[in-house]
Amino acid sequence: MRVIDPDGNQIGILTPEEALQEAMARNLDLVEVSPNAQPPVCRIMDYGKFKYEQSKREREARRNQKVVNIKEIRMRPKIDDHDLAVKVRAARKFLESGDKVKVSVRFRGREIVHQDLAKAKLMNLSEQLAELGTIERAPYLEGRQMVMILAPSKSD
């Protein structure tokens, strides 16, 4: 098997017994890195230290990740301008805090015939929020409601 020392330099091709002796002489572990290679590759390292550093990196990655929530705003196709402005203000607050916004227009009874009105309301809302968010999913019909998803703009 091919053996690599802790510094990353190749020691050479050794028998498993010789490689194990070399690792014991350095008071370290012999870890098989690539078993399918020809010949198999092993590394002499402190395995406990390696696992500790790996878990430390994973904890750091988890700490830095941002959880994105989806907030929902519901309205009707016949919503008035002032009521729409209130919904826009709420959506603006959600987008500023980094959350996605799911805007849904619920249809009752024969209102479903006027899908064009609902689509116009949704597009109007997205135009008012254009500087804060982008349309992640265009308006689509989902049962008796039309749904659109807005994502916050990338401001890095």
User: Whole domain around residue 103: which residue ranges?
Assistant: 70-152
Question: Is residue 20 domain-shared with residue 88, that is, in the same domain?
Answer: no
- Residues near 142 by Cβ (< 8 Å), separated by ≥ 6? 104
Q: Collapsing DSSP states into helix, strand and coil, what is residue 5? A: coil
Per-residue pLDDT tens for 65-123? 777 789 999 999 988 999 999 999 999 999 998 899 999 999 999 999 989 989 999 99
The reply to whether 59 and 18 lie within a common domain is yes
If asked whether residues 57 and 120 sit together in one domain, one would say no
What CATH number is associated with residue 47? 3.10.20.80
Q: What is the pLDDT at residue 65?
A: 79
Average pLDDT of every residue of the chain: 90
* Opening angle at CA 101, ends 97 and 105, nearest 5: 150
For residues 61 and 1, give the distance between their C-alpha atoms in angstroms, rounded to a whole number: 34
